[in-house]
Structure 1
């Protein structure tokens, strides 16, 4: 059997129900999915799981999602990085370096179909996009 073309997604959220819902959604769509419940666990998973895309919640205990995605950019530079948040106002105060580490922003609550479509589009465009205006 040849190498699997199944894209790998790492989901990071400290709310188990949210992480499980996202895992079910993406597995149903044919993706290989791993879940981490915090930033440290996510970075640990990335040492063995070569994620094509990382979806992280913003508000988590310890390392927040923006801080995590900054680290993901260093360890897995080709992974697409999505920040999931219901707190856009809070996010606007994040440091610029964190803002640059986030490829895309999706607000909670998300629409399943929209989220899956967005992820498929992002995985289709692996080459770095032009710098955001």
Structure 2
């Protein structure tokens, strides 16, 4: 998980761009996909597919590298979240939120938006 978090933290300050998967800009699910790829784990590209991928983790058991999901944007719902971040610890995540929200940053996932849930993608089920 350290490689995942390290990759994500190294992207802070880069711009958000819808549909981008790096290296100079990312959207939220593109950042997640590339961070996991940096650790040798292949996960789906879009948030709707990342949500069911992996094991659900209870809110008091999340760890750095886990994914945190939110109900955000058109077509999203509790069963189909529209935003994802990467847990870095202490209630914080790395996220690429939106164009008008600014660059990729570390933010709290506890204070602003209600969390739908957490997942821990399997490092063994989908190795490259």
- TM above 0.5, one fold? no
Task: Decide which structure has greater helix share.
Answer: 1
TM-score, structure 2 normalization: 0.30
Greater relative CO (CA pairs within 8 A, separation 6+): 2
TM-score, structure 1 normalization: 0.30
